[in-house]
Structure 1
């Protein structure tokens, strides 16, 4: 019986490519998608590997500014849409692992509760 709670290298690569992990790794998945550093990990997993492919534009003959401009024309919208769809991606990943998709909102709920508590303390309601 496999009691691993963190993925192996092969499982991690498959997870990054969109695969699911076994149910005993649910805590790891939740932490990966909603824990500290989740946004940074998400952005790095999408934006860094694409740079390797975009470097193929450097092989096209012509002035360097034109090659870099072609790369930027693809990379800048990718950055925009990656950030815009982060919430949707996290909810979809949680759902694909059989977890509650509202876990993607946990950080926002915690911040709102802390703000509410600070407000009530400030105005003498606590």
Structure 2
């Protein structure tokens, strides 16, 4: 089992901090697992939420405050998701992995899954009619 960071270390990691060497396996899992996109959005939320809370407390009409928060969140999530792969690969590089490691591993996993799906498809639908 991989060593996972505690809550405080995870928050540090979420705001772009480096983690100690013992979390290398967890970092790689975080960046290449099946749910890596959801994990990235969760980390982005950690950065966006405090700003949204501050904007909600501004002295202005509630409708205006909600509109500001909505617009800021939409723009933040848009840019966070638009540069998701680059951000994850940069995060891995900053923690000691060679550049492009995350993208390469995700591509290899996708190729394996695609090969398995293709084999199942061929077995199910491309049988020789003479059989």
Name the TM-score, length of structure 2 as normaliser: 0.71
RMSD: 2.7
Structure 2: gaps (5+ residues): none
Structure 1: gaps (5+ residues): none
1:12 correspondence with 2:1:
no
- Aligned with 1:80: secondary structure? helix
Aligned to 2:48: 50
Match for residue 27 of structure 2 among 26, 29, 35: 29
Question: Which runs of structure 1 show a deviation greater than 6 angstroms over 4 or more consecutive aligned residues?
Answer: none
Q: Are 1:34 and 1:103, in contact at CA under 8 Å, matched by a contact in 2?
A: no
Note the C-alpha offset of 1:10: 4.1
Are residues 107 and 71 of structure 1, via their aligned partners in 2, closer, same or farther at CA, if it must alter by over 3 Å?
same
Q: Deviations over 1:58-84 (max 9, x none)?
A: 334443222211222211111111111
Aligned to 2:106: 107
Are residues 52 and 7 of structure 1, via their aligned partners in 2, closer, same or farther at CA, if it must alter by over 3 Å?
closer
Name the TM-score, length of structure 1 as normaliser: 0.74
Aligned to 2:81: 83
Are residues 11 and 55 of structure 1, via their aligned partners in 2, closer, same or farther at CA, if it must alter by over 3 Å?
closer
Give the aligned length: 121
Q: Are 1:5 and 1:24, in contact at CA under 8 Å, matched by a contact in 2?
A: yes
